[in-house]
Chains A and B, each alone.
Chain A
C-alpha cells in the first residue's frame, strides 16, 4: 500500500465504504437480471415465437407512446398516487398524533393497528372483494344500509372500482404510515417542546412550529414510500378488478403484467416496466431531495 492509502486507512476514510459494502454486494447481484430485463425491452422477445426474436432498439418504447391505453394508464397511475398519498399520509399523521397522546387503551390500539399489515395484499383484496359485494349480500353494503345509504356498486362501476381500490389500499397501508410517524414522534427530543411551553405556546402552535418541522423527515419518508408503492400498486388491483372495469383501474404495472404474463409479449412488457421505473425514479429523486432538505433543517 502506498503512503497515501495508508494514511487514508488510518484516518478511516474507507470506513463508510466498508460499512456499506455488504449491502451494496447483496444488491449488486440484482443488477445482472435487471440488465437482462432492459435488454429484453429492446427486443421483440415474445415467448411462444422464439424464432421471431430480434433486436428492435427503441421500437417498443415508441409503440407505447402511440398506444391509447398507455395514456389512460399513465393518467390513472399518477392520479391515483396523488390521491392515495395525500389521503394515507394525512390520515396516518392524524392517527399517529392521536396514538401519541395520552389516551386510555392506546397500547392495545397500537398493537391492533398492525393487523392490516399481517394479511398479504392478495388475500386482503380478495376478502374485501367479498365484503364489498354490490348488493346487500356484501357486509359493507349491508352495514351501510342501516345508515340509509343505498347499495353501492363497488366494483361494477368505473368510479366505484377506483374508490374501492383506494379504500382497500388505504386500509392495508394506513398502519404503515401511522407506525413510521409514531416512531418518529416518539424519537423526537423533548427540549424544543419545553422551550415552546416556556414561551407560552398552545397545542396547535406546538403542532405547527415544533412537531411538524421536527417530524418532517419522517413525513417525507412516509410520503416517499407510499408514493413509490402507489405508483406501482398491483396486488390489490389484480385480485379485485384486474384493471377494469373498462380499463378504469389499469395502471402501468397492470399493463406491463398483462403484456408480460398474460400475453407473453416480453419485449413490450419490459419496456412498459422500464417506463414505469423511470417515472418512479423521477418522483423518488424529487422526494429524496426534499428529504435531504428536511433532515438537514432538523439537525
Chain B
C-alpha cells in the first residue's frame, strides 16, 4: 500500500529507515567483524594500543587450528580442533533431531488436544530447561561415570535434551496453535486421521516455525559449554570447550581463539542460510491461504 505524502516526507522516511537499518547492522555485525579481524592479526597487532584496523593479515592463526602450530613448532600429533568440530556437529545434530522427533508429537498433543493434566505436563516439561545446570551437572557426572555414558556422544545428546527438548516443544506448540482450526476441521472432514492432519496440514503450514525452532535449537546445542565440560572427555569435547583451550598458563592466544570462533560459526551460518528460504516460502504459503 502506497503511503500518501510529499516527496520530502518519503525521503525523510527513507533516510530514517536507512539509518535504523545501518545502526542495527553495525550493532549486530561489528563484534563479529572484530573477531574476524582479530583472527587475521599477529599477536603484536592484537595487543596494540590504540586498536588497529590496518595491518598485514596473516593466516597463521587458522593454520594453527589444523596443524597445531602453537610455538612456531609443528606438532606431530594430530591437533584436536578438527575433532572438536566434528563432535559439535554430531552432538548438535543428534540432539536437535531427537528433540524434534519427540517434540513434534508432544507439541501436537499439547496444542490440539484437551486432556486432564495437560497444563501441568506442559509446565513440568518447560521447567526442565530452567533447572540451574549446577544442580544437574555433578550428579549427572557421577551417574554417567557409573553407567558408562561419560565421554560418549550418546551421553551428551541425552544431556542436551535438557537444553533443547522443552524449548522445541513449547515453540512448536505455539506455532501449531497459530494454524486456524477450520483448516484442520476441513482435513478431518476429508477423512484424515490425526496423523494425516499432522502430516498434511500442520507440518507444512508451520514449516517456518519448525525452521526457526531447529536453527535456534541447533545453536543452543552448539554453544553449550557447562554440560560438555564436565560430561565429556577429550574425545568428545565440542568446539566450545575446545575454544577456551587457547587460554594457556603464560599467555592467551587470542588470535587462535578468534580463528576457532570463526570456524565454529561456519556451520551455523550455513544452516541459517539454508533455512532462510523456508521462512520465505512459509510467507507466500500464508498469503495464498
Interface residues in chain A, defined as those with a beta carbon under 8 Å from any beta carbon in chain B = 12-13, 15-17, 19-20, 22-24, 26-27, 29-30, 32-34, 36-38, 40, 95, 98, 103, 105, 107, 109-124, 126-128, 130-131, 135-139, 142, 171, 174-176, 179-180, 183-184, 186-190, 217-218, 221, 224-225, 228, 231-232, 234-235, 252-253, 256-257, 260-261, 266, 269-270, 272-274, 276-277, 280-281, 284-285, 288, 292, 295, 299
A272 to B113, CA, bound (A): 38
Evaluate contact between A183 and B130: CB separation under 8 angstroms.
no
Evaluate contact between A17 and B136: CB separation under 8 angstroms.
no
A107 to B278, CA, bound (A): 12
Name which residue of chain A comes closest to B118, CB basis: A16
CB of B96 within 8 A of chain A? no
A183 to B132, CA, bound (A): 28
A sample of 28 inter-chain contacts (CB < 8 A) reads A23-B125, A24-B121, A27-B128, A27-B166, A30-B128, A30-B162, A34-B131, A37-B138, A38-B135, A113-B24, A115-B29, A115-B265, A116-B32, A118-B219, A120-B239, A120-B264, A122-B225, A122-B244, A123-B244, A130-B254, A142-B50, A183-B212, A186-B208, A221-B170, A221-B171, A253-B134, A260-B134, A288-B126
B49: which A residues are within 8 A, CB to CB? 135-137
Evaluate contact between B51 and A26: CB separation under 8 angstroms.
no
The residue that A270 contacts in the complex, of B50, B105, B135, with Cβ under 8 A, is B135
Name which residue of chain A comes closest to B178, CB basis: A187
The residue that A284 contacts in the complex, of B38, B127, B265, with Cβ under 8 A, is B127
- Per the 8 Å Cβ criterion, residues 86-125 of B in contact with A are 98, 101-103, 105-106, 108-110, 113, 115, 118-119, 121-123, 125
Evaluate contact between A187 and B24: CB separation under 8 angstroms.
no
Evaluate contact between B273 and A111: CB separation under 8 angstroms.
yes
Given A20-B105, A119-B223, A120-B240, A281 and B127 contact (CB-CB distance below 8 Å): yes
A-B pairs, top 7 by smallest CB distance, nearest first, are A36-B139, A19-B109, A33-B139, A22-B102, A19-B105, A16-B109, A120-B223
CB of B202 within 8 A of chain A? no
The residue that A276 contacts in the complex, of B108, B128, B132, B222, with Cβ under 8 A, is B132
Interface flags for B17-56 (1: CB within 8 Å of A; 0: not) read 1001100110111011011001000000000011100000
Evaluate contact between B177 and A118: CB separation under 8 angstroms.
no
B32: which A residues are within 8 A, CB to CB? 115-116, 119
The residue that A109 contacts in the complex, of B24, B136, B258, with Cβ under 8 A, is B24
